[in-house]
Amino acid sequence: MDTNERRERLRDDLVAAARGAIERAGLSSLKARELAAEAGCAVGAIYNVFPDLDALVLAVNAGTLERFESFVAGRREPEASPEQALTGLADAYLDFAAANPHLWRALFQHRLPDGKSVPDWYLAAQARLFAHVEAPLGRLCPGLGAGERALLARTLFSATHGMVALGLDEKLVPIPLETLRAQLATVVSAMARGLAQGNALKHA
Amino acid sequence: MDTNERRERLRDDLVAAARGAIERAGLSSLKARELAAEAGCAVGAIYNVFPDLDALVLAVNAGTLERFESFVAGRREPEASPEQALTGLADAYLDFAAANPHLWRALFQHRLPDGKSVPDWYLAAQARLFAHVEAPLGRLCPGLGAGERALLARTLFSATHGMVALGLDEKLVPIPLETLRAQLATVVSAMARGLAQGNALKHA
DNA sequence: TGTACATCAGTGAACGCGCGTTCACTGATGTAC
DNA sequence: TGTACATCAGTGAACGCGCGTTCACTGATGTAC
């Protein structure tokens, strides 16, 4: 087998092992030793492929973002009204988070040490996600400029994220999933109606 | 000096030291040794007053909740419309979070080890906060039952939390505070308008 | 008020554990002739 | 094709550090007489 091929295979095995570990028990359960055991290599070998564990986590998170993006893309209904589309997105977000709690948490939990910043390809993956929100938002509020639309998309994403994150959190009183889904629908569609109305007034 | 008095004084000093440490550098910078140095006692003395550091963090968080509650209470405008009141609450949340980033983050970041659950007095402090949301919400949607209202208040809180948390997070592209404030106002008032409208339709 | 004693707050060195990362070594792979 | 050599992926024991918590000890405080 070619050396590069081996190296790539190990890389994939390590990412898979890391993903598995996070999936099972959360980001904080990621241990270099267990990882190596799972991927069938020595601890030291990890550092031939990745500079450190942070880079590995970043790779896992990139994969999660990607899977989430195709999950959302797979649910798109081109016929839907903007309001329905936004509600559908929130619903997809809830379903993905509920189905992959640890992987999803890891996206937000993981912080790089002070000096280092998130690589561009990671930011690009985020941007691709936000695009799914921008599309219906543009139809809902046609008067919005590109910058305003991007900003508002991010804000709507954040609001949805908050509802899902605290809703799934067992720290407060736990809420049944379907109750949470109904709450999301109520609030997101209210936002959509209110935004459309505000936009119509502004550009009347 | 009385022994109980000493003990109580030490307790206060420890909480103050812990609060200071979190305030300066975040929850993860809390160290038993630094704490003891700051409070002027030996490491071991901490464990005469608190069972462990978690209990100390809980005490700091309780104080933060309390301060936030009076902050919100101090801004109440009885004359405001429900929509204005809700926007005002979101604004207060943003201001408090921006002014106390580390203390505020600690409220959500801190997790108890698996077996232990949050004490009742802590949950009660949370409930007192949610009450501030429930009041205007009740005026906005008079048809809501107490349970529905409490649930929706919590959901609105979560949405606001999400916008503030991701907005202040430097992990994404940073947003100027005033831009964030405007976004919050836009979205919260849209939600309020949409909810009032939906409620009116439902109970027409 | 003074003395002897008991209690327990207070001490801080040491324990114990976890864990990321390194590094001197080895052996398989690839290359040159 | 065969042989000698160089490279470097792969190894895993050991390093190094951080840090919460304990515990045998001490001395100040409070009590009994």
Indicate yes or no: CB of A166 within 8 angstroms of CB of B152: no
Of chain B, the percentage scoring pLDDT greater than 90 comes to 86
Dihedral class, residue A145 (left if φ above 0, else alpha if ψ from -120 to 50, else beta): beta
Nearest protein residue to nucleotide D12, judged by CA and C1' positions: A42
A53-65 mean pLDDT:
97
Indicate yes or no: CB of B158 within 8 angstroms of CB of A165: yes
Q: Which of A128, A169, A171 to mutate to test the interface with B (most CBs of B within 10 A)?
A: A171
B30 burial type by CB count under 10 A (0-12 exposed, 13-18 middle, 19+ buried): buried
CA B193 to CA B204: how far, in whole Å?
16
> Which pLDDT belongs to residue A1?
58
| C1’ D27 / CA B12, Å | 24
Nucleotide closest in space to B31 (CA vs C1'):
D19
B142-164 mean pLDDT:
97
Give me the residues of A, 134-163, that contact B with CB < 8 A: 151-152, 154-163
Nearest protein residue to nucleotide D23, judged by CA and C1' positions: B44
Is the pLDDT at A202 greater than 90? The verdict is no
The 10s digit of each residue's pLDDT in A130-189 is 999 999 999 999 999 999 999 999 999 999 999 999 999 978 788 999 999 999 999 999
CA A165, A166, A170, A171 torsion: positive or negative? positive
State the pLDDT confidence band at A3, using cuts at 50, 70 and 90.
Answer: confident
A1-29 mean pLDDT:
92
Which among B111, B162, B179 is the nearest to A165, CB-wise?
B162
| Helix/strand/coil for B171 | coil
Chain A positions in Cβ-Cβ contact with residue B166 (cut-off 8 Å): 154, 157-158, 161-162
B7-28 mean pLDDT:
97
Token digits of residue A60: 């896992």
Which range has the worst mean pLDDT, A3-12, A38-47, B40-49? A3-12
Q: How many angstroms away from the CA of A45 is the closest CA of chain B?
A: 30
> Which pLDDT belongs to residue B147?
96
Closest alpha carbon within chain B to A153: B183
State the pLDDT confidence band at B203, using cuts at 50, 70 and 90.
Answer: low
pTM: predicted TM-score of the whole model, two decimal places: 0.94
A71-93 mean pLDDT:
96
| Number of neighbours of residue B134 by Cβ within 10 angstroms | 19
Q: How many angstroms away from the CA of B11 is the closest CA of chain A?
A: 26
Cα distance between the two ends of chain B: 68
Greater confidence, A125 or A201? A125
| Helix/strand/coil for A98 | helix
If you ran DSSP here, which 8-state letter would residue B41 be given?
S
Indicate yes or no: CB of B187 within 8 angstroms of CB of A191: yes
Token digits of residue A149: 């639309």
B80-97 mean pLDDT:
98
User: How far lies B146's CA from each of A37, B131, B149, in Å?
Assistant: 53, 11, 5
Q: How many angstroms away from the CA of B163 is the closest CA of chain A?
A: 5
Closest alpha carbon within chain A to B152: A183
> Which pLDDT belongs to residue B204?
57
